[in-house]
Structure 1
Amino acid sequence: MVNISDLSNDLLVKILLLIPSKVAVSTSLLSKRWGSVWKLIPKLDYDDTYSASASEFIGNLYTHETLVVLRLMKVTIDDVPSTTCFRSLKTLSLLDVFFTSDKTVERLLSCFPILETLVVDRWGGENVKTFAICVPSLQSLKIRYRVGGYHDPKNDHGFVINAPSLKYLDIVDHFSGFYSLVNMPEQLDAEIHVRHCDSETLLGYLTSSKKLSLCLKPQMGSYPEGDFDQLVSLDLCVMCSLDWLNLILSRSPKLRALRLYQSRERGGSCRNSRNVRTKWEQPSSVPECLLVSLKTVEWILYKGTQEEKDVVKYLLENGNFIKTMSIGFSSVITLEERNKIQLEFESMPRSSRRCQLSFT
């Protein structure tokens, strides 16, 4: 009979990948043969929900030079040795990780020279005020910062992001008071659902985006400077962000796809916010994108308000190249009301002869 310790490292790693990461790491205590086998595992998933501290596990982790994927959940990180370097790690998830200071965050993230994907999931009540993400190699960043119910903004809590290689940015934040985006690349795809921070400043960082999804309430009389020269696709929450529609349309000459939706479809940031109000007024001049580039329009959970109807009518009357307009009705609209709306829309004048209406 073959002793398991006699197996090759490749086979032992395959075995360790089948068991929880905590157990895999503990095999280092079995014998000298097993002492460093766990360090060959390319992926670790550590959940410290039921432990008081993860310091011992983390201290082993800093010597792991071949790790490619790391997921930490509910661990406390209070120190990062100066010699730490995860030379092979490309994907990192920090899920409800408690950092003892702003500096600890900066020190940890500086240990990943080729990091490409970062997920940060925070909850209110931790020590970190400025969560600084300075990772030159980062390509995908997902941030979730949430608290239960409605909370006043923490103006001294927020994120600083410096990621010149970033391709995809996804933020759902119900808590932060500020965002600072440094060295944003061209043609970024961004989904932004933010409740409290300075919307003008944040949107101003995203003018080079190719795709935008916004659940972001404008401040009264405050709008960002600059054009959205690269923007080809826009998703907009009509519950809080419809005020942005005219501004973005007028500054997006290449826009091809427009999607309007209700915030609750994606668990958006404005669902439980106080004083959410949106308005739309017909622009004084027709935006360039309606005249030359916009081809598809989709409205999800259409409720049939006068304001919504005015937007649809305006797009049909001025969209020279719209090929399809899809209307998905909200459940609050009865079948009789749907039929009435459908007939009304089908009888509206259309600038584009090729425009096809569909209803769901």
Structure 2
Amino acid sequence: MDSISELPDALLLKILSLLPTARDIVATMVLSKRWQPLWMMVPRLVYDDSYQNLEYGSFSRFVDKSLFLHEAPVIETLHFRLGKTCGSGDIRVWIRAADKCFVRRLIIEFDSSSSASPAILPRSLYTGCRMLAILKLTKTVLVDVTSPISFPSLKRLILLSVKYPSEEFVQRMLSNCPVLELLYVEQCPDDNVTIFTIRVPSLKTLILRKSVDKRKGSEDGFVIDAPSLERLDIQDDYRGGFCVIENEMPNIVEADVDVAYGHPGKVLSSITSVKHLTLCITSSKDAYPVGSIFGCLVFLNICTLEIEWLNLLMSVLRDAPILRALKLEQSHSCPGPQPRPCWSEPSSVPECVTSSLETLKWTEYEGGGEEKEVIGFILRNGSCLKKVSISSNSTDRDKKFEMIKELAFLSRRSPTCHLTFE
């Protein structure tokens, strides 16, 4: 212990920051006089009221006292894990303390397994914490305010199963985040928002999640206006949902579109500048407008679980002239036997297959008739293919051996390609 105590304060503070909770950090003060004042300068504090089964009253007093005594000029991370009945007055005091300590990263998580009501956050959270750069809220309730909302420094906002006062409040809150770069939203069924509107000119990364049971029988959706967006990741299993993109997003580099919409074209037609694209959609019909060209697309990942995946694949290959890498996989678990897609060899070979496609990776390959036709088509015409990697989840050794023989025969038509099978 003596040798550790001789380390400089900066290094000791980093070591203390690695401890699981604030209670563990405070406990180090008993080690020696050298350690007594150090805990008050640690820039990362995690308060967990489920830790060691503490009574909430004891936990609340501990948080109050330790925050009052804390002397760090800036707290980089202040993290609350709340699993029991939590008084609104306590949270109000802690958020006021966060503002005084110039907290840069604030996390408030309410234990989703708890039967208690979600935590109601005070108005001071979005009117006083002007130094916040990162805010993460989980299973909490936001209340409306008449005073202006202000997050002038906020760059990352993560909202998981949060309840809002209204749709208008969501728009007003986001419009007052002038430097926001990342927004992650996971909606819950009763969050009081039917149409989630995101109009943030500075936004670069947008991640949206909505479950199938969001609001059965109604039209729920997203409206997006984010002209600076570089990454879009949307997962919406609700077949009655929609996504409207109000303006083009010319800076999109990466997109993951996993939706059950009947007409996803409004999304895909707005991201034609994408370079890395992952798709899982239920229908290839009207997937995107005829004539759209993915002129920058170099990597394509398509889910092979949906019945329409083959038609979607051929459409995108036709409209992606410089595609270099293709990945085919079942990105979801299969609930049961699925209808097999139909394969009809196209009358012309997509330009990318003959001139730019270099790698093909296929996971969960089953060796069905249409799968063999697809891979045979690509191997026959893939003039630039360098590597094809196939893997199967089959436990039938004879079946796998047959797959290997068939693939080895097909690969002879592409002598420059290296084929591997797992």
Instruction: Number of aligned residue pairs: give it.
Output: 348
Specify the alignment match of 1:41 in structure 2.
103
Residues 330/30 of structure 1: CA separation in 2 closer, same or farther (3 Å cut): closer
Shift of 1:334: 1.2
Instruction: Check whether the contact 1:159–1:180 (CA below 8 A) recurs between aligned residues.
Output: yes
Specify the alignment match of 2:244 in structure 1.
180
Instruction: Check whether the contact 1:168–1:189 (CA below 8 A) recurs between aligned residues.
Output: yes
Shift of 1:339: 1.3
Please give the alpha-carbon distance, in whole angstroms, between the structure 2 residues aligned to 1:164 and 1:324: 37
Specify the alignment match of 1:4 in structure 2.
none
Please give the alpha-carbon distance, in whole angstroms, between the structure 2 residues aligned to 1:346 and 1:353: 11
Shift of 1:106: 0.3
Task: Indicate yes or no: 2:180 matched with 1:120.
Answer: no
Shift of 1:126: 3.1
Specify the alignment match of 1:234 in structure 2.
300
Residues 131/348 of structure 1: CA separation in 2 closer, same or farther (3 Å cut): same
Please give the alpha-carbon distance, in whole angstroms, between the structure 2 residues aligned to 1:61 and 1:102: 16
Please give the alpha-carbon distance, in whole angstroms, between the structure 1 residues aligned to 2:216 and 2:289: 21
Letter in 2 for 1:142: I
Segments of 5+ residues of structure 2 without an aligned counterpart are 1-28, 30-36, 50-58, 72-92
- What does 1:55-94 align with in structure 2 at a 5 Å threshold? 55=120, 57-94=122-159
Please give the alpha-carbon distance, in whole angstroms, between the structure 2 residues aligned to 1:201 and 1:153: 22
Shift of 1:30: 5.3
Shift of 1:15: 5.8
The one of 388, 391, 404 aligned to 1:342: 404
TM-score, normalization by structure 1 = 0.85
Instruction: Check whether the contact 2:388–2:418 (CA below 8 A) recurs between aligned residues.
Output: yes
Residues 347/28 of structure 1: CA separation in 2 closer, same or farther (3 Å cut): closer
Letter in 2 for 1:283: P
- What does 1:277-296 align with in structure 2 at a 5 Å threshold? 278-296=341-359
Please give the alpha-carbon distance, in whole angstroms, between the structure 1 residues aligned to 2:212 and 2:64: 35
Shift of 1:128: 0.9
Please give the alpha-carbon distance, in whole angstroms, between the structure 1 residues aligned to 2:338 and 2:404: 31
Shift of 1:262: 1.1
CA RMSD between the two structures: 3.4
TM-score, normalization by structure 2 = 0.73
Letter in 2 for 1:330: N
Shift of 1:44: 1.0
Please give the alpha-carbon distance, in whole angstroms, between the structure 2 residues aligned to 1:202 and 1:280: 26
- What does 1:202-351 align with in structure 2 at a 5 Å threshold? 202-220=267-285, 223-225=288-290, 226-240=292-306, 241-264=309-332, 271=334, 278-331=341-394, 333-348=395-410, 350=412
Residues 81/143 of structure 1: CA separation in 2 closer, same or farther (3 Å cut): same
Segments of 5+ residues of structure 1 without an aligned counterpart are 2-6
Instruction: Check whether the contact 1:20–1:45 (CA below 8 A) recurs between aligned residues.
Output: no
Task: Indicate yes or no: 2:207 matched with 1:142.
Answer: yes
Please give the alpha-carbon distance, in whole angstroms, between the structure 2 residues aligned to 1:274 and 1:105: 41
Residues 13/191 of structure 1: CA separation in 2 closer, same or farther (3 Å cut): farther
Instruction: Check whether the contact 1:327–1:358 (CA below 8 A) recurs between aligned residues.
Output: yes
Shift of 1:220: 4.3
- In structure 1, the residue corresponding to 2:341 is in which secondary structure? coil
Residues 91/60 of structure 1: CA separation in 2 closer, same or farther (3 Å cut): closer
Shift of 1:349: 5.6
Letter in 2 for 1:228: F
Task: Indicate yes or no: 2:263 matched with 1:198.
Answer: yes
Please give the alpha-carbon distance, in whole angstroms, between the structure 1 residues aligned to 2:278 and 2:193: 27
Letter in 2 for 1:101: S
Specify the alignment match of 2:18 in structure 1.
none
Letter in 1 for 2:98: W
After TM superposition, the structure 1 stretch with the greater mean CA deviation from structure 2, 346-355 or 87-96, is 346-355
Identity %: 34
Instruction: Check whether the contact 2:355–2:384 (CA below 8 A) recurs between aligned residues.
Output: yes
Please give the alpha-carbon distance, in whole angstroms, between the structure 2 residues aligned to 1:273 and 1:127: 34
Shift of 1:115: 0.9
Specify the alignment match of 1:19 in structure 2.
47
Instruction: Check whether the contact 1:77–1:104 (CA below 8 A) recurs between aligned residues.
Output: no
Shift of 1:84: 2.0
Look at both structures and tell me which one has the larger radius of gyration over its CA atoms. Answer: 2
Specify the alignment match of 1:95 in structure 2.
160
- In structure 1, the residue corresponding to 2:187 is in which secondary structure? strand
Q: Deviations over 1:298-357 (max 9, x none)?
A: 1001011101111010000011000001101123x5111111111121112655431011
